[in-house]
Amino acid sequence: MTAHVAESDEARGRVILRFSAWKPSDVAIHWAMMVAAAFHSEVEVLFVEDRERVNFAGFPFAREIPMRGGPPRSVSPRAIKAEFRRSFAEARKRIAALAEAFDEEVKVYESFVSDDPVQALVSACARRGPWNVIALAEAFGSPAPCSLDELFEAVTDATGIIVAGPNATVRRGPVVLAVEDTDHLHGMLRAGDRIAAALGTGIVVLLIAGDEEALARMEAEVRLALGESPRIEIARARATYGDIGVVAEAMRRLRGSFVIAQYGGTAVPRQRSLRPLMLTLECPLLLVK
């Protein structure tokens, strides 16, 4: 498990910032740029016009239900396309403003496709695979055309996905590695080192296990593997006993700037609502396979 992004001269991947029609998160955009800067990579802003949504608007029975209430209203393919164009134009301004903070350190370019949102990412990653990281531009929990399960299943040429919850902020703090399996430690450390060096911060290895005995065993293994390093701190969550809220609170208390975690583990389980975790966390996540 290595969250790697190809450097710009490798031509084997980059950070892909996927944007659909929902309001983008400044935090998610900032961290797409930051991860690209840490790996000396590029950012491709992928604007996806959801083809299925446009086609559905062509049916005579199609109606749109406003998110903030009100009666359903009729829609048309032309109106939906215009909505996408307006949304993309606003996003371009926001992305350009946030990219200025990185001067010319990160090259940013754009692509526009009319496609299924998942297939759009499959195709974009395959063009320059395999070392891509996907950043979802909207705050996690916004209405989304695809789930994390779908993305991890379908997109094989990506090493991780950046997500930011509605309460995430850009702040200075350590990079937190949420470690549940010591076999994954060194792969996560390689990514954490690059990002922490770019931020000028340290690393906290947060150990996660189901009971106290497993936690003690993990801590002994990790301390032996890492030795003495002034930049790396080891922290222990309370034994989870299957409660992901314990991990979420442990992450929050560390006040990290960024968390790297395994998707499908205890901290970020598959096929369960991640809403409590994303509401608790005040920093973005890089989820790795």
Residue appearing with tokens 């966390």: 281
- Tell me the pTM: 0.90
**Measured distance CA(37)–CA(5) in Å, rounded:** 10
**Measured distance CA(269)–CA(266) in Å, rounded:** 5
Work out the pLDDT band at 145, boundaries 50, 70, 90.
Answer: low
Q: What is the share, in percent, of the chain residues with pLDDT greater than 90?
A: 49
Give the residues across from 74 on adjacent strands. 63
**Measured distance CA(256)–CA(258) in Å, rounded:** 5
Longest C-alpha distance within the chain, in Å?
A: 68
DSSP-based three-state secondary structure for 156: coil
Q: Which pLDDT tens digit goes with each residue over 211-223?
A: 889 889 999 999 9
Residue 28 CA, distance from chain mean position: 7
Q: Which pLDDT tens digit goes with each residue over 92-134?
A: 999 999 888 887 789 999 999 999 999 999 999 999 889 999 9
Q: Is residue 233 predicted with pLDDT exceeding 90?
A: yes
Q: What share of the chain is helix, strand, coil (3-state, %, to 5)?
A: 40, 20, 40
Please tell me the predicted confidence (pLDDT) of residue 68: 61
Q: Is residue 88 predicted with pLDDT exceeding 80?
A: yes
Please tell me the predicted confidence (pLDDT) of residue 66: 64
